[in-house]
Structures are given as C-alpha cells and as structure tokens.
Structure 1
Amino acid sequence: MTKGGMNTKLHAVTDTSGRPIRLFITAGQVSDYTGAAALMNNLPEADWLLADRGYDADWFRETLVDKGTTPCIPGRKSRKKTVKYDKRRYKRRNRIERMFGRLKDWRRVATRYDRSPTVFLAAIALAATVIFWL
C-alpha cells in the first residue's frame, strides 16, 4: 500500500486487477497507520484487504472486520502474538507492487520531479488515471 519518494509516502488502494482506485500522500516519516486511517473512511466495499506489515495494527484489523472486510496482513516482526493470515491469498499483493512499478514508468513520478506535494499528487493522479484505463 505504500511507496516512498523524497519526503512523501504514497498510500494506494487497488482493485482486484491492480488498478489504482484510492490514493493518499503523507510525509515520508509518518507512520503507515496515518495513511491507513485516512484511507479507512473511503475504502470501497471488499471481501478482503491485502496489505503489507506496515499496516499491522489491531485497530486497523478490527475496523476492517467491522466493515465486513477480512484483513490479509502479516504481523509485524515485533508483534508478541503471531497473527494468522491467508498466505496464498497474500501472494496476490504483487498486483499493487506492479501498479507502483507502472506509476514509476512515468519519469515525472519516478524522479519526484515536482517539489510540491499537491502537484506531485496531481501527477500521480494523472498517471493513475491512464494506468486505470489501459
């Protein structure tokens, strides 16, 4: 769900085909929980949500379950009690990694050409719109 650039971090939600449907940008040093909280209110209805370890938080998992979404998130290495997740399903998370790769095909996005976070997010949104329809 996240990829960093200079001092910003992009949080993204994709559909099952790996097409970007939600984007949110935070400062690079900010925890993934901040991005998760920001995206939480605007998540589409889904049976499953696949995310990396950075999103492993009990409150996040509980909120997903309350919304009727099953979390598929491996536990952080520092977690005392291990968390069960569907390892076979988790392998499908590569779709979001491929989406980030396609975003980076856009030189303006890959090189973080824009200094302003607002303009940078606009460039990402333009690239994401094209990626969505291709």
Structure 2
Amino acid sequence: MNDQRFVVTDAFWKRLEEHLPGKASNAGVTAKDNRLFLEAVFWRVRTGSPWRDLPSGFGKWNSQFRRFRRWAKSGVFERLFNAMSGDPDLEYALIDGTIVQVHQKASGAKGGPQAQAIGRSRGGLTTKIVALVDALGNLMRFMLLPGQAHDMKGVAPLIRGVSFGALLADKAFDANWLLEELDVRGATAVIPPKANRKQQRDYDANAYRWRHLIENYFAKIKEFRGIATRYDKTDCSYAANWNLAATLIASR
C-alpha cells in the first residue's frame, strides 16, 4: 500500500512480531503474512470501512476477517496492547466513561444488543466505554457497557488489583462504597461530592485539574473512525479494535 500511515514500519514490526501467533518457533502451522494482516486491521480501525471494502492489496477480505475474528476471540489483540503499553505511572489513576454511536448495521448479533454491550440512550443505539488511565494519561484497562448503563458499573472490575496513590474521577463516581474502598486501600479520592450529598466533603481541587488527561485520551482514540462509531456487531470485535487503536497510540 502506498499510504505510509497504514504501514507497519520495520521498527514497529520488530516490537510486534514476537507477540503474535504463528511464529516459526511455534508448533503447528505457521501463520502466513502476519505483517500484511496487521496492516489490514490497522487500516480498517483507522477508516471504519466495511470488511468488503478492504483494498485488494491487503489480501482477500474474507480471509482477513476470519483471522481477525479468531485472534479477537483468543485475546491476541489484548495481549498485543499489553505488550506495547509498558509500565504504568500509578502515582494516581483516572477513570471516566464515554459513549459512541452504534451503526444500525452493527445490531443483530446472537444474544441481542444488551449481550453485545449495545443499549439505547438519547443518541439512539450506543455503547459506553469506561476506561482507566495512568498518571501520564496512558490507557491501562477499559470495559464495554450498554450505552444507558451507569459509569459506576465499570469501576470495580477496572480498579481490581491495581495499586495507585489516588483516583481522579468526576462527581458521577461519588459513591460511598468507592470512597470506603479507596480509604481501605490507603488511596486518596480526588472526586468532587455530588450536590445532594448530606455531608459535603473536601477534595483536592488542584489535583482534580489533571482529570483532563482521560478526556484527552478519549479524544485521541476517537480519531480512529472504527472507534468513534461502532460498526462491529459483537463486543468481542469492537473491543479488539480498541486494543488495536490503543496499541498504535502506545507505540508512538
């Protein structure tokens, strides 16, 4: 392909190759054209294009789609992102949620929309992504929910097993159970109190100003059209695209 934005460079490939299935050292059949395949899936998450519109230079669209689904189901893209992420800066962590529109063609998967993290909110069919980033604004974890779900549903799974000095979040996350959990951990809650809280509490307003880091990350990853609008029917495939886009961001 001529557009260099979509090419896996030699330096990037050296970092990726050892984390992919089908290496020559692996038992069984060695995967063919892993590098070309990665270029294909990176191209698709950037453009948000249907699989059938995959340029012929990337190979047969149906073959690339089937491999994408296999790798998505087996967690390859998640492992790839984790390998590229490096060690997080956990002086503090930030958590928030964002909503993306679900294309009408993305509905209809087995189990119904709720089972695929698709719900209805003011914008119609939507998916909510709750994410945890580190003190540098780098993604650590994310979780998909139906669009109408409250952000708090993603908190417990995302912070489980993660040690940080403080947690920054907006007032939507002002819940007693979370404040108690952070207190037990010895972590500071940098979360403004809700207006209807009977006993108002203090929080570090200066530290709270850094909450823009997670908003910046959402803006950055939504530059990928396959992220900003969900075209994938299954939550597995859409999560794979998040991991692909996050891998590219982490590699910069």
Same fold by TM (over 0.5)?
yes
Task: Give 1:94-105 correspondences, 5 Å limit.
Answer: 94-105=212-223
In structure 2, the residue matched to 1:133 is 251
Distance 1:125 1:65 in 2: 32
In structure 1, the residue matched to 2:156 is 37
Q: Map Cα deviations across residues 32-60 of structure 1 (whole Å, 9 max, x no partner).
A: 22111222324x21111101122110101
SS at structure 1 position matched to 2:129: strand
Could you tell me which amino acid in structure 1 is paired with residue 250 of structure 2?
Answer: F
Where structure 2 has 5 or more consecutive residues not aligned to the other structure, the ranges are 1-95, 102-125
Q: Which of 147, 159, 167 is matched with 1:28 structurally?
A: 147
Q: Which has the larger radius of gyration?
A: 2
Would you identify which runs of 4 or more consecutive aligned residues in structure 1 move more than 4 Å?
A: none
Q: Map Cα deviations across residues 17-36 of structure 1 (whole Å, 9 max, x no partner).
A: 10101111111112222111
Distance 2:159 2:248 in 1: 25
Distance 2:182 2:141 in 1: 16
Where structure 1 has 5 or more consecutive residues not aligned to the other structure, the ranges are none
Q: Which of 80, 101, 107 is matched with 2:198 structurally?
A: 80
**Sequence identity (%):** 35
The reply to whether residue 61 of structure 1 matches residue 179 of structure 2 is: yes
Could you tell me which amino acid in structure 1 is paired with residue 141 of structure 2?
Answer: R
SS at structure 2 position matched to 1:25: strand
Q: Map Cα deviations across residues 87-127 of structure 1 (whole Å, 9 max, x no partner).
A: 00000010100000011010100122223222111111111
Residue 12 of structure 1 contacts residue 20 of structure 1 at CA under 8 Å; is this kept in 2? yes
Q: Which of 135, 160, 165 is matched with 1:47 structurally?
A: 165
Q: Which of 114, 129, 132 is matched with 1:13 structurally?
A: 132
Greater Cα offset, 97-106 or 123-132: 123-132
Could you tell me which amino acid in structure 1 is paired with residue 204 of structure 2?
Answer: D
Cα RMSD for the two superposed structures: 1.4
SS at structure 2 position matched to 1:46: coil
- Give the Å deviation of 1:12: 0.8
Q: Which of 97, 102, 117 is matched with 1:2 structurally?
A: 97
SS at structure 2 position matched to 1:114: coil
